[in-house]
Amino acid sequence: MASTVRICVVGDEATGKSSLISALIKDTPPTSPVQPVFPSITLPPSLSTPDNVTTTIVDTSALPQERQNLRKEVRKSNVILLVYSDHYSYERIALFWLPYFRSLGVNVPVVLCANKSDLMPTGETTASVVEEEMMPVMAEFKEIDSCVRTSAREGYNVNEVFFLCQKAVTHPIAPIYDAKEGCLKPAAVEALKRVFYLCDRDQDGVLSDKEVHDFQMKCFEKPLSEADLASIKRSVIKPGSTDEEKEAAGIDLDGFLLLNRMFAEKGRHETIWIILRKFQYSDSLSLKDHFLHPKFDVPAFASAELSPAGYRFFVDLFLLHDQDNDGGLSDTELAHLFAPTPGIPSSWQEAGFPSCTVRNEAGYITLQGWLAQWSMTTFESPKTTLEYLAYLGFNNDNPTRAGTTAALKTTKPRSKRRNRPGRIERNVFHCYILGAPSSGKSSLLNAFLHRPFSPTYHPTIKPQTAVNAVELHGGKQCYLILSEMGELEPAILENPTKLMNSCDLLCFVYDSSDPDSFRHILELRRKYPALEELPAVYTALKADRDRAVQRTEVQPDGFCEGMRMGKPLHVSVRWNSIGELFAQLAECATFPSQGFPKSEDGEAGEGDGSGMVLWVGGGAALCAALALGWVWRRNWIGDR
């Protein structure tokens, strides 16, 4: 909404332009002729519109020698007050003034004013003037916002005409109503549909009396009387309904849109704007940017997660839209849930939603999968979560934190050196699955989401992601994101900075029945040294088959023993015990020092431990050199 309104008063000479301004300022009709052009005046918000804007009123002259100044002022204006007072000046409205504004490229609303109504011929009524003079011009020139009759001498409608000018800027009708077609414009309809959706708290498609009262208090901050409510319901209920049906029925979406169309038709479009602005819409009928994208910074080495209020909101949203109570959201229910948004987030579609999270037997996302999906989205892109919280109507009841950011929280930053003992204070972790082709990575992701095993092999080309909840020892729950990178693996591993920022844990997997499978892990570690900076878990998959001796210089068990790490866990996706692997991954992500090589004293060391050996050896050599120097110096002093 504009913070200032600049009104340019235009019209033929002697139509009473300056008299209207004088009557407004002095609050009394002019008793003597006023100057030809009234000086520009500025009204502070307290004397201006209820919308708390500053108003500047600029008078102009129609004389040819003042045409350059007229052009300048018209182009600077937010609204034009076009005044006429007799038949000649009325004819000039369509023949000169409105085409002249168009020739200047001016695209601002025009308020048409028929002044000197005190000189109206006997028998001529305001209704006849509106119908015979004003409506034909308004039908031809859509830039005319409204029209009014005034009299500066009698003080008739003087305040009202300037209020209409203010309202034409602060509450423009052009974006919301098509006067030619007699209907609300599509953008306004979409915005009002979202308002209806958010006010229909029980999602039954009808605003109950309580929901209407809540809507009234939110938008207008004053209660709605029972008589007014009954009158509104009677005006929008479909024809043919009995009085009892009209009293008992609520207001459906069609009735809500009809009600707002009636506001526009009656010139009460400021009511529609009050509603839209309460629901954070801008003048362009899009949600305000600061509402969709509030400031939310995640410190370095920290992450974003849903707060208890955020989880509660998404739980309530799921339960509200699971209309058949089958524990899953069908395609229809999902479409209805995302109706007030641009649709399912693009990042979800790229990840293959809903196949990337937990579904029921019918293929519908469950509550567990729903919360896991939003946990992953918040971890990877908190801005996306904040945007959808705004679209979906998150209400913050916490007075200490305003807006949608109350649904999120930031975690304590983790140490740059992850091999230090201690717990990572987070609930969402990201694990990369690395291993040779056909080692079982995709089957592992499917098992993580409780899907049946398929013996058919499909090589992974596009990255795949799976997210689910995992219970830690002691009963605490966290969310684990498992990612198989596909053809993007080299690009990701070659970028150490991105790897360190996005990944919490590495899971190296190999096919225990394939003698060449473990070699791929050793080659990865040699090719990408940055992998040694991340905690890792080694896993032998396909343990239900005969174990093969790996064609490498060291066997997997010996490799892990050499680094004083736990031996690879032998699992199979066909075994019920596969859940132990996921629990181990979550534990290692929570306590990352478990995933690093250990020194001889049992503490986690850097990389494969060679750094610690070099440091100790260097220290011993330095001590020996110092001792030799001390002995030589002592002997040299003794010889003297």
Same domain, 445 and 376: no
Same domain, 398 and 496: no
Count structural domains, the chain. Answer: 4
Residue with more model confidence, 263 or 132: 263
With both helix axes pointing from N to C terminus, report the angle between 308-321 and 367-380 in degrees, rounded to the nearest 10: 140
Of 135, 170, 205, the last residue of a domain is 170
Q: 110 and 239 share a domain?
A: no
Residue 633 phi/psi, 5-degree rounding, is -65, -40
Q: Which of 402-411, 435-444, 607-616 comes out lowest in average pLDDT?
A: 607-616
Whether 488 and 531 map to the same domain: the answer is: yes
Please report which confidence band the pLDDT of residue 586 belongs to, taking 50, 70 and 90 as the band edges: very high
pLDDT of residue 265: 86
Q: Alpha carbon of 170 to those of 52, 272, 629: distances in Å?
A: 10, 12, 88
Asked whether residue 624 is domain-assigned, the answer is: no
| 513 within domain boundaries | yes
* 245, 343: one domain: no
H helix or E strand, kind and range, residue 428: strand 428-435
Residue 614: which pLDDT band, with cuts at 50, 70 and 90? very low
CA–CA gap between residue 371 and residue 367 (Å, rounded): 6
Q: Report if residue 120 sits inside a domain.
A: yes
What is each CA distance from 442 to 190, 220, 345, 541, in whole angstroms? 42, 55, 24, 11
Least confident of 22-36, 97-111, 210-224, 600-614: 600-614
Decide if pLDDT at 623 tops 70: no
> What pLDDT does residue 38 have?
87
CB 408 within 8 A of CB 306: yes
> Quick one: pLDDT band at residue 493, thresholds 50, 70, 90?
very high
Please indicate, yes or no, whether residues 393 and 351 belong to a single structural domain of this protein.
yes
pLDDT-based confidence at residue 636 (cuts at 50, 70, 90):
very low
Domain termination residue (choose one: 170, 205, 238): 170
In a domain, 448, yes or no: yes
**CB half-sphere exposure, 256, CA atoms < 13 A:** 26
Domain membership of residue 626 (yes or no) is no
381 shares a domain with 504: no
pLDDT higher than threshold 50 for residue 366: yes
For residues 398 and 435, membership in a common domain is answered with no
Return the HEC string of 354-401: CCCCCECCCCCEEHHHHHHHHHHHHHHCHHHHHHHHHHHCCCCCCCCC
Structure confidence by residue, pLDDT tens digits, 91-121: 999 999 999 999 999 999 999 999 998 887 7
Does residue 585 share a domain with residue 449? Answer: yes
Which pLDDT score is estimated for 341? Answer: 96
Q: Which range is least confidently modeled, 89-103, 220-234, 255-269, 612-626?
A: 612-626
Q: How many CA atoms lie within 13 A of 165 on its CB side?
A: 28
H/E element, 477: strand 477-484
In the chain, what percentage of residues exceed pLDDT 70? Answer: 88
Does residue 586 contact residue 478 with C-beta atoms inside 8 Å?
yes
- Residue pair 390/313 in contact (Cβ under 8 Å)? The answer is no
108, 226: one domain: no
Question: What integer pLDDT is reported at residue 246 of this predicted model?
Answer: 55
Q: Is 261 in the same domain as 224? A: yes
The per-residue pLDDT of the chain, averaged, comes to 87
Q: Which of 194, 230, 185, 237 is nearest to 212 (CA)?
A: 230
Higher pLDDT, 619 or 135: 135
Q: What is the pLDDT of residue 4?
A: 87
195-209 pLDDT tens trace: 999 999 999 999 999
* CATH number of the domain bearing residue 268: 1.10.238.10
Q: Which of 132-141, 322-331, 522-531 has the lowest mean pLDDT?
A: 132-141
The predicted-structure confidence for 165-182, as pLDDT tens digits, reads as follows: 999 998 988 899 987 788
Is the pLDDT score of 619 beyond 50?
A: no
Mean pLDDT, residues 413-436 taken together? 89
pLDDT tier at 632, thresholds 50, 70, 90: very low
Average pLDDT over residues 158-170: 91
Does position 342 have pLDDT exceeding 70, yes or no? yes
Domain assignment of residue 611, yes or no: no
Of the candidates 170, 200, 226, which is a domain's last residue? 170
Q: What's the confidence (pLDDT) of residue 35?
A: 79
Q: Mean pLDDT throughout 352-376?
A: 95
61 confidence band (pLDDT: 50, 70, 90): very high
pLDDT in tens, 12-23: 999 999 999 999
The Cα-based distances of 511 to 58, 305, 524 in angstroms read: 83, 35, 16
Residue 93, amino acid: I
Nearest to 116 by CA among 91, 141, 87: 87
| 433, amino acid identity | I
505 with 537: CB under 8 angstroms?
yes
Q: How confident is the model at residue 139 (pLDDT cuts 50, 70, 90)?
A: confident
Q: How does strand 183-184 pair with strand 206-207?
A: unpaired
CATH number at residue 507: 3.40.50.300
Residue 606 pLDDT grade (very low, low, confident, very high; cuts 50, 70, 90) = very low
Task: Give the pLDDT of residue 611.
Answer: 37
Does residue 51 lie within any of the structural domains? yes
pLDDT at 468: 97
Poorest-pLDDT segment among 547-551, 581-585, 616-620, 635-639:
616-620
Provide the percentage of residues in the chain whose pLDDT is more than 90.
67
**pLDDT value of residue 459:** 83
- Is the distance from CB of 176 to CB of 272 less than 8 angstroms? yes
Does the residue 423 lie in any domain? Answer: no
Q: Looking at residues 343-368, what average pLDDT do you find?
A: 94
Q: Quote the pLDDT of residue 9.
A: 97
pLDDT at 639: 43
Closest CA to 606 of 420, 434, 402: 420
* Domain identity same for 252 and 323: no
Q: How confident is the model at residue 599 (pLDDT cuts 50, 70, 90)?
A: confident
Residue 402: give the domain boundaries. Answer: 291-411
**In the prediction, which pLDDT does 50 show?**
52
